[in-house]
Amino acid sequence: ITGCGTGIGRAIALECARQGAQLVLHHIGDAKSSDDISSLQREIGRFHGSTGTASVTADVRDPDAGQKIVDAAISSFGEINVAINNAGMCQFLDFSAVTAQQLDSHTAVNFHGPFAITQAVVEQMKKQGTGGSIVSIASITATMGSSQLAHYAATKAAIQGMSVSCAVALGRYGIRFNTVSPGTIETAMNKADLRGAKRSEMEKRVPLGRLGVPEDVAKPVVFFASDMAQYVSGQNLIVDGAASVNYQ
């Protein structure tokens, strides 16, 4: 699981552990992410008994990050059966104000990184010959407009495109590809943007009456990762409390 120290990634890790998975926990390697991963490992150990974890540090922008993650899985557990592309970045920016550097940064983290990591994982899964599941976190912004997220939305649309094409290209190896597209989920990434009147307005748009929390995303991800979805590939699941179908 990439980028799993906080937020959605952390919730995914905890839910996977609850289901008995052995986990390679990826983080960028700075002091904060290292502390986050250490506390996550303690939490997993406390609540999930003997579930094994290993950690690996890598910048997803590094072309070798995928191989580092695969190597960590093989050295710790002997194989890799599931990969979850979760690491990402998101800045709220007016379209005309987005710089080339900001666009490049979002593309590198949100698309180039997951693409290269997926390539490395796929090669290992092909060697193992037992198939696998790759789940990527996309976003409802890939198909719905958002006034300050054109740069971000483009990267998430790319993730969806990669996933459906990989589902076709690699299905013969038994490797499944799916995406989960969250709506507005309360995380540290968007905390500053969800204040006061804007928060109230966002909640009114959601028929279920609340914003999402990371655990709302984690459970569908685990479904796609598991054998319960063994005949499900090339799909995108929107997790937004019905906000995207609310025309009222």
In a domain, 53, yes or no: yes
The CATH code of the domain that includes 14 is 3.40.50.720
In a domain, 92, yes or no: yes
CA dist list (Å): 198 to 122, 190, 193: 41, 12, 8
Span 132-143, average pLDDT:
97
More confident residue, 200 or 151: 151
In a domain, 1, yes or no: no
Tokens of 197: 């009147």
In a domain, 199, yes or no: yes
State yes or no: pLDDT of 245 exceeds 80. Answer: yes
Give the domain extent around 229. 7-245
In a domain, 2, yes or no: no
In a domain, 202, yes or no: yes
Helices (H), 129-174: 150-170
In a domain, 44, yes or no: yes
Number of domains the chain contains: 1
In a domain, 237, yes or no: yes
pLDDT value at position 210?
92
pLDDT of 16-42, one tens digit each? 999 999 999 999 999 999 999 999 999
Say if residues 203 and 246 touch (Cβ distance below 8 Å): no
Residues known to be catalytic: 139, 152, 156
State yes or no: pLDDT of 47 exceeds 80. Answer: no
State the average pLDDT for the chain: 94
